[in-house]
Structure 1
C-alpha cells in the first residue's frame, strides 16, 4: 500500500453520526458551514495536543472542540491546517486521512 503524507487547510465538522473508539472519523470541508466536498479525517480523542474532544452520545455542533499542537482550543467553523497520512488514492473519498498535527490558521 502507498502511504501519502499530506497537509491541507480545512474546516473540520461533525458528520450526522460518528464511529468512535479511541479515535473518531469526521469530515473536513474546504469552506466554513460544511460547504464543499469534505475529506474524511480521523482524530485521536481526548483533551491533549492534536486531539478532538470526545463528543457526548447525543452531540451537537456546540460540542465540537479541537486542540491544536500547542493545546489551544479550536471551535467549529475555524480554519485549521491538518497534517497526517493517507492510505491509497488522494482522490478516493472512502480513504481516511489520519491526522497527526493540528495547526490553527488565523
Structure 2
C-alpha cells in the first residue's frame, strides 16, 4: 500500500513540475511578443490603477509605457491604444487581427458551443 501511495505522489509531483515548466516556457514566449505593460496584482490585474477617472489614469500610464500598452482587467488582457497613429495602424493595417472578441464560456454554453 505504501509503495503505491509513494508512486502516485511521485507521479503527481512530476506532472505538476512538467506543467509548471511548460507554462513558464509559454509565458516567456508570450512576454517577448507583447507590448509594454504596467505591473498588476494577481487577481484584479490593473483595475486598481484605473481609479474613478479611468481616462486620466490611462493617459498617465501611456506617458510611462507608450501609446500601445497591455493592461489586465481582472484576468482579461486588454490592448490600450493611446494615440491616433496607433489606433489607425491597428484599425486599418491590422484590422483582421483585432476585429474579434474573446470567446465567453457562458455564451458558449448558451449557444451549444456557438452552433445554431
Name the structure where strand makes up a greater proportion of residues.
1
Which TM-score band applies after superposition, normalised by the shorter structure?
under 0.3
Q: TM-score, normalised by structure 2?
A: 0.22
Higher relative contact order, structure no. (Cα contacts within 8 Å, ≥ 6 residues apart): 1
Name the structure where helix makes up a greater proportion of residues.
2
The structure whose Rg is larger is 2
